[in-house]
A and B are shown apart, each in its own frame.
Chain A
Amino acid sequence: MEKLLLRNIGVPGSHTLATYQSRGGYASWRRVVESMKPEQLIEEVKASGLRGRGGAGFPTGMKWSFVPKDNPKPKYLVCNADESEPGTFKDRLLIEQDPHAIIEGTLIAAFAIQSHTAFIYIRGEMVFGTEQLERAAEEAYRAGLIGKNIFGSGYDLELIVHRGAGAYICGEETALLSSLEGGRGWPKVKPPFPATHGLFGCPTVVNNVETLAALAWIIERGAAAYAAMGTEKSKGTKLFSVSGHITKPGVYEVEMGYPFKKFLEEDCGGVANGKKLKGVIPGGGSMPVLKPEEIEKVNLDYESVAAAGSLLGSGGVIVMDESTCMVRAAANIARFYAHESCGQCSPCREGCHWMEKIFQRIEHGEGQKSDLDLILNISGNIMGNTICPFGDAAAMPAAAFIRKYRDEFEAHIADQRCTVRG
């Protein structure tokens, strides 16, 4: 398969403007500015079938089309580079090794909504990534690709690389905007959606790094070429970050609809050290775990993973072999959400800590028979009862671990110790 998103990865000097341009970089940006109307660009991306790669899978062209054209306020485009989903490291690879692809995509998206100020909100911990993006932006400014009167078209666009400061929640788009406004990263109630009331109440679009990185290719080769790949509803290619007990961990680009089992066994070399698979999380820590028998017929696209009872999410694939204690794994994920809950909504603020505490006591041999139903009850009370999807992201994996590995949880409680690790 031809690589779209990873096409520059591994090329010496891939992060420099010279190398990026020698491989056709910024030709799409020039074409967009010189010969396309914003409506035409939006139609092209709609036709490509590209869907947001941050986790929700919302159609990108449609998201852009929600920005009102007659609103006199400034419009903002924000690239979401706040990659923090457990098991996900695809964006960091692009940020560090192909920053110009992200910048070019950001510029194209900004043009589509006729924004004159664009931001790349990068995770605070990624200091090297910030430097790579800042250097790349500086090069692009010097080359006249960003700034005033780009390509003599009269179109002006400023780009600001903005560093977060350590908060998982800022990956959620409304939290990200609160953070970019200089405050706590607190999510906001939707509607109104950012497309009409975003940054400082102005029309704003937030797109993920991977989504934006696909744009230059789509413009270069055409929507039809992109839409020719993938399945009926999941078009193009997607990046998967593979970690845990796997022979060849790393970032992979596959065509949407690729068989999951084949991917793990052939592309990723199978479970490490010849062990058996016990469970796999397909879309980052927020998504329900799948048992080996559940992935038999699953393909790597939004619909197929959803039909199996989980979600494709960020494409963060975490592999767990037969030696893994699922109580411990669940407790680990629960601790993550307890640590990262922003504290705004009580079901999430209280529920995440409560669930973590129960998981920990089961793992440490102090669980009670009623604990499992208690966690399911708490998880059920968080689901759908919070401002943002964080609550669901904490509730779904907790419930899935118990429902799918209930025997193991019950054994921990009956024997009053970890029955897997001894």
Chain B
Amino acid sequence: MALEFSPETLKKFTATVARYPKKEAAMLPVLYLAQQEFGHLGPEAIQYVAKLMEQAPARVQGVVSFYTMYNTKPIGRHHIQVCRTLSCALRGAEQVTGFIKHKLGIECGQTTADGRFTLSEVECLASCGTAPMMQVNDDYFENLTEEKIGEILDGMK
């Protein structure tokens, strides 16, 4: 069956589009809605958004691939994103990534076999004064130590 929004999400879609001066301006928030609903933005989701937004699928694909926060493939329930840019690197970001790799037994860009975690390295998250840091899904975790990371990850089911 082709992908489509639930009635509730469709309502959110209509309300979102209505707020903007032009429909196309709502592209980014609509893609977030689709990602939330479908888990990731695969070809079918892109087709569906293109239809809703009255845009060519290629244009939607171009937008999706431009931004780092849209996932074109399924990811784990908890997306660990370790900041690797200079301020964090000066305060041990590499050790943070190394520790997580070892603990979870995966490399960057991989997902654990149980689908619990995906590990990524990302660029500056504007949390440089509390380095090293990581973002897991929506939340920032700052001033990381190995002990702290262990507790955080163990608490995520």
- Interface residues of chain A, those whose CB is within 8 Å of chain B, are 74, 83-89, 91-92, 117, 123-128, 158, 160, 162-168, 179-185, 200, 241-245, 249-251, 281, 285, 316, 318, 320, 324, 328-329, 332-333, 335-336, 339-340, 342
Contact = CB atoms under 8 A, between A and B. Distances in A.
Contacts, number: 144
21 contacts: A84-B124, A86-B85, A123-B126, A124-B28, A125-B125, A127-B138, A128-B138, A128-B139, A163-B29, A164-B28, A165-B31, A166-B68, A166-B69, A167-B66, A179-B28, A182-B27, A244-B91, A281-B86, A285-B85, A318-B90, A332-B85
A185 B86 contact: no
Contacts of B89: 328-329, 332
B33 to A, nearest CB: 11
Contacts of A179: 28
Interface residues of B, number: 42
A87 B87 contact: yes
A320 B28 contact: no
A329 B86 contact: yes
B21 A200 contact: yes
B68 A243 contact: no
A127 B63 CA distance: 20
A218 B126 CA distance: 27
A83 B69 CA distance: 16
A244 B90 contact: yes
Contacts of B29: 162-163
A340 B27 CA distance: 21
Nearest to A321: B90
Interface stretch (B7-15, B111-119, B128-136): B128-136
Interface of B: 19-22, 24-29, 31-32, 53, 59, 62-63, 66-70, 84-87, 89-91, 122-131, 135, 138-140
- Mostly helix, strand, loop or mixed at chain A's interface? mixed
Given A180-B25, A182-B26, A336-B124, A245 B129 contact: no
A126 B126 contact: yes
A181 B21 CA distance: 10
Given A123-B126, A336-B123, A163 B28 contact: yes
Contact of A182 (B25, B32, B90, B124): B25
Given A332-B86, A336-B86, 19 more contacts: A74-B21, A83-B126, A85-B124, A86-B123, A86-B128, A88-B126, A88-B128, A89-B128, A126-B126, A162-B28, A165-B68, A181-B24, A182-B27, A184-B66, A185-B67, A243-B90, A249-B130, A249-B131, A285-B86
Given A92-B126, A117-B21, A124 B85 contact: no
Contacts of A123: 126
B56 to A, nearest CB: 12
A167 B20 contact: no
B86 A181 contact: no
